[in-house]
Amino acid sequence: MSNDQNQNLNEEQNLNEEQVLSENQAPVEEQPKVEEQTPVEEEVPVEEQPKAEEPAPAKEQPKAAKESKEITAQELEAMARELKQTAMELEKKAAALKETTRDRVQELEEELEAAAEGDVDSLHNMEKKGKKGRALEIFGVFAKHNFYANGLTPEELRTTLEDLGPTYVKIGQIMSSRLDLLPESYCTELEKLRQNVQELDPKMARAVIEQETGRKIEDIYSEFHDKPLGSASVGQAHFGVLKDGRKVVTKVQRPFIADMMREDFVLLKKLAKGVSTVGENSDADNQMDLVEVIEEFEKVTEEELDFRVEAANTRYFKENVIEDESKITCPDVIDELTTERIFTMSFVDGYSVSKREKIIEDGFDVEEIGRSIVDSYVHQVLDVGTFHADPHQGNLMIQRENGVPVWIDFGMIGRITQSDIKVIQQLVLAVLEKDVETIANAVLGLGAASPKTNRDRLIEDLDTFMDQYINVTSIDDLDLSRLFEEICTLADKHHIKLPGRFTMLVRSLATIEGVIEQLCPSLNLFEIVSGKLMKRAKDSFNLEQEILSLGKDALEISKKAARIPAQVSDVLKGVARGRTKINLELTGYEELLNKGGDSIKNVVLALFACILFVGSCILSLADISPKAPGGMPAISAIGLIFSIGLAIYTVKNIGKK
């Protein structure tokens, strides 16, 4: 009896569910959600039917089955109502989606018609509409992350850039190596943007290669792997074997990424002009020009969007930087398969230099590898003047066959002039000699001073700065990375704008130091750099030239000394005739004078407000027309209102100070 009732119950439930689905056209996937919301139904699951066959009191079975049947019928009615409501909501969403799709199709048809008819104005209007939508999208993302509340934490900045799209991801990647622009915590968080980048569809990658070369993939490669070796915000790399047997890596740019990023930069610069400056506080001296920062990012990104630039950099390193390929090398460029959007180079069969245990396991000498990397880097900076600007562990590979390190990814390189190197050399030697004046000259020689730069204050800060190097007597004891970072901080404090190539060098030095420290802790990077600097100083020293220079200086001094009596006589004559004027210039008191001027202005405004208020009160007793509502003379009412407003303004102004 119980089995028959359960079977009837299941048939009735299936029939009711089919009727509900037929009436409401609700998807089958929605059924489990409704079942989860009906706990009573779970008491009689289908899987529990065999339990009815176990011995049980015969009198209780009909009662339990009857109760279950009544309860299930009620739940089925509730299910029907909920499914009907869900179906109605889905119909509304489908209608809205259909409407949106129809509008978008209409817009595309209008764009095609305008393009076919050559209607330039219509195209411009549509372009403006698209940019406006993109601007609203950007503001929406920032609003989602509540940037206006308490700013953005490092993690919030990273997630915001990810939501904004590839342009902003690339900006974040560039910013991650710019300690001169962002705090270290932000740079560390932004480095995560280099990981977990979504892969490009292999069909799209193949299409880009075929479009750029004008040939089929099968005609170029005998073997091509759809699975990328790595993905980045701008492109991704694929392994392949050419028809002649050469193993290569082809870097493919993501479709439409260049146009999208250029449009975003145009929009960013317009938005930045409205913001003008950003900074940690309201002090204008501590703010930076946001437009200038964005333009610098745009320049770097524009170079990375043209793969021919990276190919030229790789070729330059191969021909001018690599001295001995048995010690260190870099890939070869495949020119016939390199364009603006694809870059093909020889394949490096190896692994990252970060895998120290793997290097030792393969029988290679980590100290020898580390020495080769450091020698190559120092040669790039001091001898060639062109260096790898992003020498992190992912851009240094170890060949499996022979353990030779390989430089890869030359999308961002730095260049430094010989005059810069001489100034750096002068700076390091001046630190050892505790010569503050020479250090100040070197810092001013590296960068561009502004009208706000005060040399006397700079020297005062340098005196304090030199206290930490009081016991340093050898160049080997100097931490050049830390020294240069402190110089950058001092320059920024005193409004001396250092060139981007120097800040790039500082960041690059810190990066390569971290790589060597992990690979070979016993190897001292700065000892090698210092030794190279001292060797350059000795080689550049010319005794004959120095003696000749000293002779010229002595001759110039003697000429000036010979003119001193005549100049003194002229000054005394001017004093006797009353024509001498003495100009005094106070330095170091600008801030105090500015505060004093502001205080005087506030006092004057307060006095004026008080006088105006008292005068208006006196006038209110006179019988003067015209009259304001209430019988008070209009001129008195105006004076009272103006004096009260002026008083409020003055109090707020004093409160800000």
649 or 150, which is more confident? 649
Which neighbouring-strand residues pair with 449? 496
pLDDT of 495 above 80 = yes
Which amino acid is located at 311 in the chain? A
Q: Are 388 and 395 in contact (CB under 8 A)?
A: yes
Neighbours of 155 (CB within 10 A): 12
- CA distances from residue 288 to 270, 292, 494, 620 in whole angstroms, order as listed: 16, 8, 13, 52
* Pick from 286, 252, 315, 278: nearest CA to 175: 278
Separation between Cα atoms, residue 420 and residue 445, nearest integer Å: 9
3-state SS of the chain: helix, strand, coil percent to 5? 70, 10, 25
Across residues 109-116, what is the average pLDDT?
Answer: 49
Query: Residues 7-35: pLDDT tens digits?
Result: 444 454 444 444 444 444 444 444 444 34
What residue spans define the domains of the chain? 2-103, 202-253+306-413, 416-541, 542-581, 596-656
Separation between Cα atoms, residue 87 and residue 20, nearest integer Å: 10
Contacting residues for 3 by C-beta, under 8 A, at least 6 apart = 49, 52, 53
Q: Is 287 helix (H, G, I), strand (E, B) or coil?
A: strand
Q: Are 307 and 276 in contact (CB under 8 A)?
A: no
Give the pLDDT of residue 318.
93
Separation between Cα atoms, residue 565 and residue 567, nearest integer Å: 5
371 or 84, which is more confident? 371
Separation between Cα atoms, residue 341 and residue 200, nearest integer Å: 14
The three-point CA angle 522-525-529 to 5° equals 145
Residue 49, classified by CB atoms within 10 Å of its CB into exposed (0-12), middle (13-18) or buried (19+), is middle
pLDDT of 236 above 50 = yes
Alpha-carbon dihedral of residues 501, 503, 508, 510, nearest 10 degrees? 160
Alpha-carbon dihedral of residues 619, 620, 625, 627, nearest 10 degrees? 150
Q: Residue 98: pLDDT band by 50, 70, 90 thresholds?
A: low
pLDDT of 361 above 70 = yes
Give the pLDDT of residue 93.
63
Query: What distance, in Å, lies between the first and last C-alpha atoms of the chain?
Result: 91
Give the pLDDT of residue 180.
55
Q: For CA atoms 537, 542, 543, 545, give the dihedral sign.
A: negative
In CATH terms, the fold of domain 202-253+306-413 is Transferase(Phosphotransferase); domain 1 (1.10.510)
Give the pLDDT of residue 281.
43
Query: Residues 384-440: pLDDT tens digits?
Result: 989 998 898 889 999 999 999 999 989 888 888 888 888 888 888 888 888 888 888
pLDDT of 350 above 90 = yes
Bond preceding residue 626 cis, omega within 30 of 0: yes
Query: Residues 292-316: pLDDT tens digits?
Result: 777 777 887 788 889 999 999 999 9
Q: Residue 77: pLDDT band by 50, 70, 90 thresholds?
A: confident
Give the pLDDT of residue 132.
54
Which amino acid is located at 14 in the chain? N
pLDDT of 283 above 60 = no
Give the pLDDT of residue 619.
80
